[in-house]
Structure 1
């Protein structure tokens, strides 16, 4: 009797039964066949998960379903490792319970390994369910080695997402890896507290000479960080990651941006972002405000929104559209546009305007968030000494690394203060 199966899907859970149920039901709906097993590692849930999980799993997947019950909540890494230990799959797919699968999600991931013998791990394009915008297309690193999700909040079908790219890291929210390689790399290191486990695993996979990819033909919805307390230990986890994987990751956000025809930029408080080349920005603005604006030269809101789907990094477009909506007292719609504007272009005036527009729309929560962000930025700007030290360090690194454009960028920041 063959005790192996092509695929083991491992789902760590802790409470949040409504999420687990929806995840399992979508998995069954969009993954036909019985060539895989489903292992749910329950971290001592105290809600309906304790009694509902086994009956639903067996109903959906029959003998291919297994539940592993832990007495206490041991976290993401230990639960995943325990599931992997009992898995019989040639490949392991680690899947968060706050995900929803879509039609045809799995074949592109499996096919990616057939096409590239050096592929060590792959994940799908993760999308926000309400907007169909990108949540994750790969993890990139700023010059300050802060992580960002590449092209987050881009429309899901934007052409830049079709580029096949090798990445330094991908998220563990939905990650496919050969079982032998996973064990060779030591599994998920259990010293983290629900964060950075996936980054270290990516480091170990790359140390083994393998590559990482986001397979954007595969689409999965991700509600993102639904577990209470998620992110509470980010600083501790980051320090541990730096200690254990020092030198494994390097700045690459700017390289992806330039390769894709964009421009890398920094805010006055040294936050990194990506924007359009000036000539492209000017051309789009002219097309909307010039003769092509519409009959009689009036502003065409629908055409402006359509252009923003084609070029999500068109800065002026958000200001034009939000301003038009605000003039027409469509404050709820304007708040959505202003929110995207602050995400792509984290400028202090944008956060202040978002706070005003959100308040006019009656969205006090969003207004408060924008105000808090503006206050945080003001605090950063007041500590000129810390910013100067950071900019000088980054300029020095860029000079030594031969990154001339980044060197000029940070030196330009220092020159504006008369410090260089």
Structure 2
């Protein structure tokens, strides 16, 4: 893997000092226009009295992002990988180069609000046991909530996002515990990462932040969502909503998450449900509707677990 590190904020005064408080880390994969919009919103934060750096990890995109990003945002540290490292791998590459006390992992298809970082940092300063914190997430250019916290996964490995697709009327404004932060926007102290470790890369895409949150919680830290801090998300624009690629990783990783995070009878029921109820019904559906690519993707997701037990 070849990694090239460009840019160190030499052309703009972004409080580039040794003691960086926040490291923004975002992964770009064939989504340069979205990444440029995110960087524009981050650039507007320069007026705030916070020392921060911005790291963009490019996961082997078709279009080289260097000319556009560094000509418009010379404060960015751009890391380029010659292979697609996935969501966790890309973020972990950013972690290796981050200098911040707090790392803010943020999807490239989001827009930050002006007071977002200050509100999140204040919560960490008030609570030394806080290990992961996400803001409320709204759908882009709307007042519709995408995420105001996650419920725990039940025995059938199902959960839901509080407030999802509801108008934000202020009913979720209390600072809440949550099962996990949201991968689109989550802040984690560097000291927590040093204790727990980086994101689990074997997921590649989907469920890695849920697993990471459980690791952080088991280490004795709290996972919370801050309702007064808001970010706007364009939702999955780089991966097709019904693509075979998504079918494979969503279902492979759902089973993997249960293997790694459920115990005892709950684990037995969870795996029985996924292997012997969900899998046959989904394969039958894909067969009936002649969705060959999805059928193959789902079958490969199940086969992966028969051949790869080492991540349990």
1:13-412 mapped onto 2 (5 Å cutoff):
13-33=28-48, 35-47=51-63, 49-58=65-74, 61=75, 65-141=76-152, 143=154, 144-156=156-168, 158-229=169-240, 231-232=246-247, 233-247=249-263
C-alpha spacing 1:182/1:86, structure 2 compared with 1 (3 Å): same
C-alpha spacing 1:223/1:205, structure 2 compared with 1 (3 Å): same
Structure 2 residue runs of 5 or longer lacking an equivalent are 1-15, 267-284, 289-312
Query: CA separation in 1, counterparts of 2:27 and 2:92?
Result: 10
Equivalenced residue count is 245
SS of corresponding position for 2:187: strand
Deviation at 1:48, TM superposition (A): 5.3
SS of corresponding position for 1:216: strand
Query: CA separation in 2, counterparts of 1:181 and 1:220?
Result: 23
Deviation at 1:17, TM superposition (A): 1.0
> Is the 1:16–1:49 contact (alpha carbons within 8 Å) kept by the matching residues of 2?
no
Query: CA separation in 2, counterparts of 1:31 and 1:138?
Result: 29
1:235-277 CA distance string (max 9 Å, x none): 00111111122249x9xxxxxxxxxxxxxxxxxxxxxxxxxxx
Structure 1 residue runs of 5 or longer lacking an equivalent are 251-375, 380-420
> Is the 1:15–1:48 contact (alpha carbons within 8 Å) kept by the matching residues of 2?
no
Query: CA separation in 1, counterparts of 2:203 and 2:28?
Result: 17
C-alpha spacing 1:41/1:213, structure 2 compared with 1 (3 Å): same
Query: CA separation in 1, counterparts of 2:252 and 2:152?
Result: 18
User: Equivalent residue for 1:401?
Assistant: none
Query: CA separation in 2, counterparts of 1:131 and 1:247?
Result: 40
**Residue 19 of structure 2 corresponds to residue 4 of structure 1:** yes
> Is the 2:129–2:221 contact (alpha carbons within 8 Å) kept by the matching residues of 1?
yes
Deviation at 1:130, TM superposition (A): 3.5
> Is the 2:17–2:51 contact (alpha carbons within 8 Å) kept by the matching residues of 1?
no
1:375-407 CA distance string (max 9 Å, x none): x8xx9xxxxxxxxxxxxxxxxxxxxxxxxxxxx
1:104-149 CA distance string (max 9 Å, x none): 1111100011122221110111001233110011111354331311
1:270-304 CA distance string (max 9 Å, x none): xxxxxxxxxxxxxxxxxxxxxxxxxxxxxxxxxxx
Give the TM-score, by structure 1 length.
Answer: 0.55
Higher RCO (C-alpha 8 Å, min separation 6): 2
> Is the 2:157–2:254 contact (alpha carbons within 8 Å) kept by the matching residues of 1?
no
SS of corresponding position for 2:259: helix
SS of corresponding position for 2:201: coil
Give the alignment's Cα RMSD to 1 decimal: 2.2
SS of corresponding position for 1:127: strand
SS of corresponding position for 2:27: strand
